[in-house]
Amino acid sequence: MIAKTMYGLEDVLADELKGIGAAKITKSNRAVYFEGNKETLYRANIQLHTALKILIPLATFDAKNEVQLYNMVKEVEWDKYISTSDTVAVDGVVNSTKFNHSKFVSLKVKDAVVDQFRDKYNRRPSVDASNPTLRIHIHIDETTCTLSIDSSGESLHKRGYRNEQGTAPINEVLAAGMILLAGWKGDCHFIDPMCGSGTIVIEAAMIAYGIPPGIFRKGFAFENWNDFDPEIFNHLMDSDEYYKEFEHQIIGSDISAQTLRIALMNTKSASLHKKIELKASPFNELEPPEGKCMVITNPPYGERLKPHQLNNLYKSIGDTLKKIYSKNQTDAWIISSNTDALKRIGLRPSKKIKLINGKLECGFYQFKLYSGSKKSKYQKQFDGDTADKGKLL
């Protein structure tokens, strides 16, 4: 099977797969390959925080044009998976100079599937784009085609708890990935002081309390398959094997009271409103709880702010971390696409990880704050980020 993910999250996804008992785990680019049975497949969809989709590859072949693609897709015995009374949909991702349009490629794949049935049975399955019996996925990398069936349906980042969103919500899979990359395991307080619609704190709470992210979903594509096993699925959905105790505080705060109302609605729809404290406050006025804290935040990147306002904001983030958060051994992580603004924080990052948020290349920077550390250490401006592309420093 293939678990698809986002750039930079392959390691944490591989760890998660190990945790659900997957075998033969191999990391690739934005994907992790693994083996397992039907239960592993259902678990992957229900339990993984950092997977976008779980695919089952049926065939990998070389095709240089649409005719070759059509012929190869027709080789698969599609009546093992569907009958003429079922429905299909095809999604495509194309990165090739030989094939330009993913829509056209998807159409060709669909033609090959339905033509096979017409040739054999004189009848064909119809197309249902929203809730088909079988969702087929074609991925073309230059001339290498991977034909898979999609067990997830809608991308797994759509957990089902987000009804409302703020101005620039972060993808749920990226938020969970950041928390796992930061190494937070629920062993101290967690704060997102610029929480917007609450994505990072909700993902943190799910990790802390062991709540499987798939539990809120309306459904998964594999529920429509002819080999769907409701007994295994219902057992996994109803099981309480996942849940954990958590003894610290999770705090989301934002300067905008309006945005916090959205965060509150989202925490309620995830049934986490009693587990997450929401506070309307600018970061520099937020009082952290006593004891060790993990701060993970996604400040504005500057699309709506003037450069001097953005620089002041990042400078004030650094000042607040130094002044308030170094008292209680805080591990602070900040994601931003604006590396110039990140320099205004004025602290030397101990780690820089490259991630991609939407289409924006971002730095996810760690700042370790210890009490008693020499002030001068923090006052050193760090000198740029030229050497950090994609690796841990």
Ligand X SMILES: C[S@@+](CC[C@H](N)C(=O)[O-])C[C@H]1O[C@@H](n2cnc3c(N)ncnc32)[C@H](O)[C@@H]1O
Which C-beta is closer to ligand X: that of 224 or that of 357? 357
Which of 166, 177, 212, 252 binds ligand X (CB under 6 A)? It is: 166
Which of 256, 269, 312, 329 binds ligand X (CB under 6 A)? It is: 256
Smallest distance from ligand X to CB 248, Å: 20
Which C-beta is closer to ligand X: that of 166 or that of 213? 166
Smallest distance from ligand X to CB 13, Å: 20
Letters for 86-125 (x = contact with ligand X by CB under 6 A, - = none) are ----------------------------------------
> In this structure, are residues 44 and 25 in contact, taking their beta carbons and an 8 Å threshold?
no
Could you give phi then psi for residue 13, rounded to 5 degrees?
-65, -40
Query: Per rule CB under 6 A, is residue 324 in the interface with ligand X?
Result: no
Q: Which residue is nearest to ligand X (CB)?
A: 196
- As a whole number of angstroms, the distance between CA 30 and CA 20 comes to 19
Q: How distant is the alpha carbon of residue 75 from its chain centre?
A: 34
Which of 13, 63, 145, 170 binds ligand X (CB under 6 A)? It is: 170
Helix spans in the chain (H): 10-19, 38-47, 66-75, 102-121, 172-181, 199-209, 230-238, 257-269, 307-324, 339-343, 375-379
Query: Per rule CB under 6 A, is residue 282 in the interface with ligand X?
Result: yes
Query: Per rule CB under 6 A, is residue 169 in the interface with ligand X?
Result: yes
CA count, 13 A, side-chain hemisphere, 62 = 0
**Can you tell me which residue has the tokens 């064909």?**
124
# binding residues, ligand X (CB under 6 A): 21
* Only segment of 104-112, 145-153, 162-170, 242-250 that touches ligand X (CB under 6 A): 162-170
Which C-beta is closer to ligand X: that of 83 or that of 163? 163
355 closest CA partner among 378, 372, 334, 375: 334
Query: Per rule CB under 6 A, is residue 254 in the interface with ligand X?
Result: yes
- As a whole number of angstroms, the distance between CA 220 and CA 206 comes to 19
> In this structure, are residues 349 and 366 in contact, taking their beta carbons and an 8 Å threshold?
yes
Which C-beta is closer to ligand X: that of 186 or that of 299? 299
The pair of three-digit structure tokens given for residue 307, joined into one six-digit string: 């450069």
Which of 12, 194, 207, 276 binds ligand X (CB under 6 A)? It is: 194
b/e map of 327-352 (b: 16 or more CB within 10 Å)? ebebbbbbbbbbbebbbbbbbebeeb
Which C-beta is closer to ligand X: that of 134 or that of 262? 262
Query: Per rule CB under 6 A, is residue 336 in the interface with ligand X?
Result: no
50 closest CA partner among 191, 168, 207: 207
* Only segment of 4-12, 26-34, 249-257, 346-354 that touches ligand X (CB under 6 A): 249-257
Which of 299, 302, 346, 349 binds ligand X (CB under 6 A)? It is: 299
* Only segment of 42-50, 225-233, 269-277, 296-304 that touches ligand X (CB under 6 A): 296-304
Which C-beta is closer to ligand X: that of 17 or that of 294? 294
Which of 168, 265, 280, 356 binds ligand X (CB under 6 A)? It is: 168
Burial of 388 (0-12, 13-18, 19+ CB in 10 A): middle
Query: Per rule CB under 6 A, is residue 186 in the interface with ligand X?
Result: no
Binding site for ligand X (CB under 6 A): 166, 168-170, 193-197, 199-200, 254-256, 259, 282-283, 298-300, 313
